[in-house]
Amino acid sequence: MNQFWENEFVQTAAYFSVVILCIVVFLAIFEIVTKYNNWDEIQKGNLAVAMTTGGKIFGIANVFRFSIGQHDSLFEMIGWGMFGFVLLLLGYFIYEFLTPKFRIDDEIQKDNRAVGFISMVISIGLSYVIGAGI
């Protein structure tokens, strides 16, 4: 049975499956902390929400890319990926805190593409910094 789990195809499929599940769970958590419904806004054509959501997806996947590359076991990879997600979430709250003139969620919901773009770039950029740390 050990040979089965050591097979690179099986490991890749396991990592893929777990990361997809984590992305779905983590996006649901992001959905809870934002004031708007991501998928309703995207369906309406809100590009700012689409960019922000895309940045979150890329950021989460990128953190897991680093986690897969640095850790040997599936459980270590999940643990470090979850830690990276918490740091991404913290980065989102810091971004909101550092913009006292306006509320990020309100601007993104209004399809302010400049705010959506900056939010996307922050998620992507932080994922590289977080990934380098794990």
12-51 confidence digits (pLDDT tens): 898 999 999 999 999 999 999 999 999 999 999 999 999 9
Q: Looking at residue 72, what is its pLDDT?
A: 76
Q: What does the alpha-carbon distance between residue 50 and residue 120 come to, in Å, rounded to a whole number? A: 9
Q: How far apart are CA 91 and CA 76, in angstroms?
A: 22
Helix (H, G, I), strand (E, B) or coil at 118: helix
Cβ-defined contacts of 3-11 (< 8 Å, 24+): 11/74
Domains held by the chain: number: 1
Which 3-state string (H, E, C) describes 80-96? Answer: HHHHHHHHHHHHHHHHH
Q: Which has the closest alpha carbon to 123: 83, 78, 87? A: 87
**The domain containing residue 83 runs over which residues?**
2-133
pTM over 0.85: yes
pLDDT in tens, 55-89: 999 999 999 999 999 987 889 999 999 999 999 99
Q: Closest by alpha carbon to 67, among 83, 86, 88, 89?
A: 83
